[in-house]
Amino acid sequence: MPELLILIALLVVVAGTAAFVVTTRRRRGPELEPPPERGIAPTTEVPDTVPPELVEEVEAEAATEAPPTLGAPPRLRDRLGKARSALGGYLGGILGRSGIDEETWEDLEEALLRADVGVATTTTMLDHLRERVAAEGITEPADLLVALKEELVAQVGAYDTSMRLEADEGRVPVWLIVGVNGAGKTTTIGKLSARQAAEGRSVLVAAGDTFRAAAAEQLETWAERTGADYVRGAEGGDPSSVIFDGIQRAKSRSHDLVLADTAGRLHSKVNLMEELSKVRRVADREPGQVVETLLVIDATTGQNGLAQAKQFAEAAEVTGVVLTKLDGSARGGIVVSIQAELGIPVKLAGVGETVEDLIDFDATEFVEALFADD
Ligand SMILES: Nc1nc2c(ncn2[C@@H]2O[C@H](COP(=O)(O)OP(=O)(O)O)[C@@H](O)[C@H]2O)c(=O)[nH]1
Ligand SMILES: [Mg+2]
């Protein structure tokens, strides 16, 4: 009976499609699931005969129920309060003079050091600026500041700040997040996870900080909030295994990206840097591939952050820095010295504690924000 066969075939196709839809929805996590009572999208639900006022109502309601999107990121200059005031006073003094003299150079040096640019980088930059002033015949303090801005932008902007998302065929891209305790690793993972979800990627976060159970719980909360898949291990467990488990799960569920948290300190006597090297090796093993190793540095730790960066860069092949707490009492100049001395680009800046408070680092915007006088 051909009719019966066709009917059976149709039923199989319909059931298959329904099962596929159900599983894909599950994978997106509970937060992104549409409310159960509505079922289908409101635009298809509205019959042609519904009066226009009602259509508007339905659509307006639907808009508020849409999957979570991220608001616009804050502007750096609105958050960089302390960093600006560190420079501000000195720059005012320099501009107030009728020409460029030794005192001007001393003030500039003091301003850069106070802004946390660091001795080595400040010296190099000012030497270069002096040459330029001589060569270009700059005599006005205002022109000197313009030249200084240009030097800073050139120094800070000489790096590729893009984030890699592609891995080799069949491998899962991993972003490994490293840094000392309290720097803002877990918070940054939450922000990154939200951003990736908003861009349409499915993310798995792996709780590689097994030092405290609370750390895994904090990450779990972020995962739930941002609709990410999540893997954790036992407290005091092996961080490499947790991350490797996460990668395998991400592979089997076809996630687009693994964000791996790590500890800033350890239970065992194993050296933190040795442990991180191991974590990186394991995470880079098939099916995983570490495409970014992001070092999170608390900008308020000033030049101390530079010392940390040196250590981590040796252990974990750091590809970029996330500079957090630029909204706090940070003075910002650490950006310049990290890049100048280590050649590692600052790729992202944390400017607050909420999910939106992460911005792509941009050299021109940063320097303009530092010098802004409103
Ligand atoms: N003001 C501010 N606080 C931050 C920022 N990033 C993280 N924090 C806070 O710093 C503290 C430590 O962050 P956490 O992510 O737990 O650090 P972790 O130990 O490196 O994982 C928390 O209270 C965060 O809310 C930021 O960009 N600005
Ligand atoms: Mg943490």
Rounded distance between C-alpha atoms, residue 83 and residue 74, angstroms: 16
Answer yes or no: CATH 2.60.120.10 is held by domain 76-156: no
pTM over 0.75: yes
Could you tell me what percentage of the chain is helix, strand and coil, using 3-state DSSP and rounding each to the nearest 5? 55, 10, 35
* Domain extents in the chain: 76-156, 172-318
CATH fold for the domain made of 172-318: Rossmann fold (3.40.50)
Question: Is the confidence at residue 27, as pLDDT, over 90?
Answer: no
Region 224-228 average pLDDT: 94
The per-residue pLDDT for range 161-215, each reduced to its tens digit, is: 999 999 999 999 999 999 999 999 999 999 999 999 999 999 999 999 988 888 8
351 Cα to the center of ligand 1, angstroms: 10
Question: Which helix (H) or strand (E) covers residue 309, if one does?
Answer: helix 303-316
* 43 band by pLDDT with thresholds 50, 70 and 90: very low
Common-topology check for domains 76-156 and 172-318: no
Give the ligand 1 atom nearest the CA of 351.
27
- 9 φ, ψ to 5°? -60, -45
Nearest alpha carbon, ligand 1 atom 7: 184
Determine the 3-state secondary structure of 66 from DSSP.
coil
Find out whether the beta carbon of 308 lies less than 6 Å from any atom of ligand 1.
no
Cα–Cα separations (whole angstroms), residue 111 to 79, 85, 89, 178, 241: 20, 10, 8, 31, 47
Find out whether the beta carbon of 181 lies less than 6 Å from any atom of ligand 1.
yes
Determine the 3-state secondary structure of 35 from DSSP.
coil
Question: Is the confidence at residue 50, as pLDDT, over 50?
Answer: no
The per-residue pLDDT for range 130-173, each reduced to its tens digit, is: 999 999 999 999 999 999 999 999 888 889 999 999 999 999 99
Region 323-349 average pLDDT: 87
More confidently predicted of 368 and 1: 368
Q: How many CB atoms lie within 10 A of CB 301?
A: 19
pLDDT of residue 65: 35
Give the ligand 1 atom nearest the CA of 324.
27
